[in-house]
Amino acid sequence: MTDQTRVLLDLLNPPLPDATGDWQRVLDDAEPRRLHPLRATPSSLRRWLREHRLGAATITLAAVVVTLVATALILRATTHRAAAADANPAFVIAGAGITHPLVGVPANGTAFGPAIQRLRDLNANLLECEYAHGATRQPTIDGGSSFQVSGVTDETRRACAPEQAAIDALQRTQAYADDAAATVQITRGALACVAARDIPDASPDNAVAAVPIVPNLAATEEACRAQLEREQHVTEPSPLP
């Protein structure tokens, strides 16, 4: 029966001598160090997209929408409180950092701390309140990656005073100042390092070119610096004793 069993099972499910896998995709899913967001898409999401007959374009669109929304929230908060920035150094630092959309992307908790997360939530609350009280938004001239809120009247400000007060209170805390400083340091350090490498357009001010370094800014920075150090060690002559 042994050989018969093999024959029967071969009939049922013939051998697949030419079947080939996709080792690269396995690697990408197992070790998403290749940091392009589409390549790093988890296989579970790809499977879901395939089951629903959706393709890479959908992932791109979703990523763009998420980035736009995050940028809108962040820039709105920054613009709206520009006057307060001069009087609040912590806010100036955070403002420089959080205008970068990547800060809105989870980065294993390394790119921004809990106070920055909290600020984003509070900003969202404020925006919702302002929209509920007559404010409108329009894309800005920087290519549509952010929005400008208009139509904020005195009545809107009065109605949303609690949300604004919560933001102001958070920004006066030491935890916020620490998180903001760390965020800027990590973001700028990573982008500046990558900019010096093989992504010519990446810079602290060019979010679009920096997208490939998602999702872990701190790790990117560390890897980039280590590589630079190695190269420096190789190319520079050792000092004479």
Partner 1 sequence: VPVSLAEIERIYRTRFPQFLRVAIALTGDRDLGRDAVHEAFVKAIQSRQTLRRAASVDAWLWRILVNSARTESRRTSRHARPFAIESSAEEQAEVGAIREAVAALPERQRTILFLRYYADLDYEAIAEAVGVARGTVAATLHAARATLKERLTEAPR
Which of 34, 47, 158, 225 is the binder for partner 1 (CB under 8 A)?
47
Q: What is the 3-state secondary structure (H, E, C) of the chain?
A: CHHHHHHHHHHHCCCCCCCCCCHHHHHHHHCCCCCCCCCCCCHHHHHHHHHCCCCHHHHHHHHHHHHHHHHHHHHHHHHHCHHHHHHCHHHHHHHHHHCCHHHHCCCCCCCCCHHHHHHHHHHHHHHHHHHHCCCEEEECCCCCCCEEEECCCHHHHHHCHHHHHHHHHHHCCHHHHHHHHHHHHHHHHHHHHHHCCCCCCCECCEHHHHHHHCCCHHHHHHHHHHHHHHHHHHHCCCCCC
Which of 11, 57, 83, 240 is the binder for partner 1 (CB under 8 A)?
11
Residue 15 binds partner 1 (CB under 8 A): yes
Which of 38, 43, 227, 229 is the binder for partner 1 (CB under 8 A)?
43
Residue 52 binds partner 1 (CB under 8 A): no
Task: Work out how close the CB of 29 gets to partner 1 at its nearest, in angstroms, rounded to a whole number.
Answer: 5
Residue 8 binds partner 1 (CB under 8 A): yes
Task: Work out how close the CB of 33 gets to partner 1 at its nearest, in angstroms, rounded to a whole number.
Answer: 12
Residue 33 binds partner 1 (CB under 8 A): no
Window of 19-27, 87-95, 114-122, 193-201 that interacts with partner 1 by CB under 8 A: 19-27
Residue 12 binds partner 1 (CB under 8 A): yes
Q: Hunting for tokens 């998180």 — which residue is that?
A: 179
Peptide bond into 17 cis (omega under 30): no
b (16+ CB within 10 A) / e for 14-44? eeeeeeeeeeeeeebbeebeebebeebbeee
Task: Work out how close the CB of 44 gets to partner 1 at its nearest, in angstroms, rounded to a whole number.
Answer: 9
**Site pattern 136..175 for partner 1 (x: CB under 8 A):** ----------------------------------------
Task: Work out how close the CB of 27 gets to partner 1 at its nearest, in angstroms, rounded to a whole number.
Answer: 7
Task: Work out how close the CB of 62 gets to partner 1 at its nearest, in angstroms, rounded to a whole number.
Answer: 21
Window of 42-50, 90-98, 153-161, 179-187 that interacts with partner 1 by CB under 8 A: 42-50
Q: Give how many residues touch partner 1 by CB under 8 A.
A: 29
Interface with partner 1 (CB under 8 A): 1-2, 4-6, 8-13, 15-23, 25-27, 29-31, 43, 47, 50
